[in-house]
């Protein structure tokens, strides 16, 4: 005997087919929204007009100091960050950075964007114990810091503050966003995300490179990794390679690595180090011994005779006393010829007894080289000798030097 079923209304076949189709469409929309929608952790980047940019930090907000003005191929970029409360907001996402580009000669407004979470800098991450704390002392470096301009000046890369560290989460578990802006339009051309301890970034004319590790150093147990994100090819996939060296800069085409984090620009008793020129795929192209500084735009300062420089430094450090041998070695080191080397072109420029300044030049990013000139029996004055531009092949310019006098 069959069991009796409760009476239920009959559903016409057409209605059943429509119901099934609706269910499929609903499922497809749900799946689509999960794969294409932005997550809550994604940065929010909004375009601003001139009035909105000027009003981005109301009087009841606290203004936070950012990096100094940055020279690009299209203008001068200034960043300012504001928040409602105190330093406790540095990792909570309550801070917003406003990035404004202006014409360097007229200060005319060109474009502006607001970014949340805010751009990172030394003060905001110094005491947070975040994934970026390892590079807190190097945030201001022009070649690998929190804000880096590509050698051709077309792109600006910014580290953003990481999300607040959760209970049970290690620093290596944290995620960091890095955004790349087109300096002509302010549009975002790349939004990259990395996990782990962030050691630095560098940017070529076509790719962003970010170094991460499992510890606060790349070698050994640090297991350093450099992740490369193309910025000129839409949809191009990222790549990575392992390294035990520090990422210290980039030329227009390649990355620059060194065994240790180099000191800031050295002007006296400079200890030379060896720089490895690496392709963005990780293969070694060349090594450059005797380097004393890495500059934005694809230049390095270098002793022409690295072995002699190393020998003089050894003599100076061999004796703690300032004896005759030490003083003789110091004088010989100061007299050693030095040069600027443009990594991509191989162009070399003598800078013996000169000072190199990283600064804006008439057509964007570049260097100004100064020389001490005697102005009397006991006085000397620093005067510009020439300038170099990242917009060309790296040859010296001597026109319009007066704009760099007393600057």
pLDDT 10s digits, 250-307: 999 999 999 998 887 666 677 889 999 999 999 999 999 999 999 988 899 999 999 9
Of residues 385, 379, 380, 328, the one with CA closest to residue 352: 385
Structurally, the chain folds into a number of domains equal to 1
pLDDT value of position 121: 74
How big is the chain by its Cα radius of gyration, in Å?
Answer: 27
307 inside domain: no
The answer as to whether 401 is a domain residue is: no
Asked if residue 374 belongs to a domain, the reply is no
Q: What is the mean pLDDT of residues 107-118?
A: 93
- Which residue did the predictor score with more confidence, 380 or 164? 380
Q: Which of 91-105, 216-230, 331-345 has the lowest mean pLDDT?
A: 91-105
Torsion 52-124-178-171 (CA) sign: negative
d(CA 301, CA 295): 8
| pLDDT reading at 185 higher than 90 | yes
* Average of per-residue pLDDT across 321-347: 88
Residue 116 CB contacts under 8 Å (≥ 6 apart), including other chains = 43, 44, 93, 95, 96, 97
Q: Is residue 114 part of a domain?
A: yes
211 falls within a domain: yes
Helix (H/G/I), strand (E/B), else coil: 235: coil
pLDDT at res. 30: 36
In a domain, 390, yes or no: no
Alpha-carbon torsion (288, 294, 300, 303), positive or negative: negative
Look up the pTM and report it.
Answer: 0.82
Instruction: Identify whether the C-beta of residue 278 lies closer than 8 Å to the C-beta of residue 207.
Output: no
CA separation for the pair 112, 56 (Å, rounded): 10
In this prediction, residue 128 carries a pLDDT of: 53
Tens digit of each residue's pLDDT (9 = 90 or more) over 330-339: 889 888 999 9
Mean pLDDT for 121-125 is: 65
Is residue 85 pLDDT above 60, yes or no?
no
Dihedral over Cα of 355, 358, 359, 363: its sign = positive
Kindly tell me if the per-residue pLDDT of 242 is higher than 80.
Answer: yes
Q: Which pLDDT belongs to residue 150?
A: 93
Which residues have CB under 8 Å from 135's CB, separation 6+? 144, 145, 146, 198, 199, 200
Instruction: Give the range of the structural domain holding residue 230, as residue numbers without chain letter.
Output: 44-261
298: left (phi over 0), alpha (psi -120 to 50) or beta: left
Residue 32 — pLDDT band, cuts 50, 70, 90? very low
Confidence of residue 123 (pLDDT cuts 50, 70, 90): low
Residues ≥6 apart with Cβ < 8 Å to 263: 271
Residue 223 located in a structural domain: yes
Report for 182-196, 319-333, 381-395: range of highest mean pLDDT: 182-196
pLDDT at 60: 38
The percentage of the chain sitting over the pLDDT mark of 70, rounded to a whole number, equals 75
The answer as to whether 395 is a domain residue is no
Confidence of residue 132 (pLDDT cuts 50, 70, 90): low
């Amino acid at each position: 005997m069959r069991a009796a079923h409760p009476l239920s209304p009959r559903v016409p076949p057409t209605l059943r087919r429509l119901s099934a189709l609706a269910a499929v469409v609903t499922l497809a929309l749900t799946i689509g929204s999960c794969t294409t929608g932005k997550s809550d952790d994604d940065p929010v980047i909004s375009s601003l007009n001139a009035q909105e940019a000027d009003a981005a930090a109301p009087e009841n907000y606290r203004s936070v100091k950012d990096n100094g003005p940055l020279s690009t191929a299209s203008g001068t970029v200034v960043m300012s960050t504001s928040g409602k409360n105190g330093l406790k907001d540095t990792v909570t996402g309550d801070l917003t950075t406003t990035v404004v580009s202006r014409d360097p000669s007229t200060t005319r407004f060109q474009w502006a964007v607001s970014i949340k979470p805010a751009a990172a800098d030394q003060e905001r991450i110094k005491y947070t114990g975040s994934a970026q704390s390892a590079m807190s002392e190097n945030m201001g470096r022009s070649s690998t810091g929190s804000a880096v301009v590509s050698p051709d000046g077309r792109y600006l890369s910014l580290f953003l503050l990481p999300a607040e560290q959760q209970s049970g989460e290690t620093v290596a578990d944290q995620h960091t966003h890095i955004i790349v802006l087109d300096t002509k339009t302010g549009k975002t051309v790349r939004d990259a995300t990395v996990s782990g301890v962030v050691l630095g970034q560098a940017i070529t004319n076509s790719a962003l490179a970010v170094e991460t590790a499992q510890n606060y150093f790349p070698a050994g147990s640090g297991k350093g990794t450099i992740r490369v994100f193309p910025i000129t090819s839409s949809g191009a996939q990222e790549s990575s390679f392992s390294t035990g060296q520090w990422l210290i800069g980039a030329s227009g085409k390649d990355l620059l690595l060194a065994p240790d984090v180099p000191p800031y620009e050295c002007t006296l008793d400079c200890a030379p180090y060896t720089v490895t020129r690496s392709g963005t795929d990780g293969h070694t192209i060349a090594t450059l011994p005797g380097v004393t500084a890495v500059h934005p735009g694809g230049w390095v300062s270098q002793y022409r005779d690295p072995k002699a420089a190393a020998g003089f430094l050894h003599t100076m450090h061999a004796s703690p006393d300032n004896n005759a041998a030490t003083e003789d070695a110091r004088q010989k080191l100061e007299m050693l010829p030095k040069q600027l080397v443009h990594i991509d072109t191989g162009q070399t420029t003598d800078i013996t007894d000169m000072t190199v300044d990283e600064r804006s030049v008439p057509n964007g990013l570049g260097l100004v080289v100064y020389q001490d000139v005697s102005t009397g029996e006991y006085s000397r004055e620093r005067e510009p000798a020439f300038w170099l531009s990242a917009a060309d092949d790296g040859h010296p310019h001597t026109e319009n030097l007066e704009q760099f006098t007393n600057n």
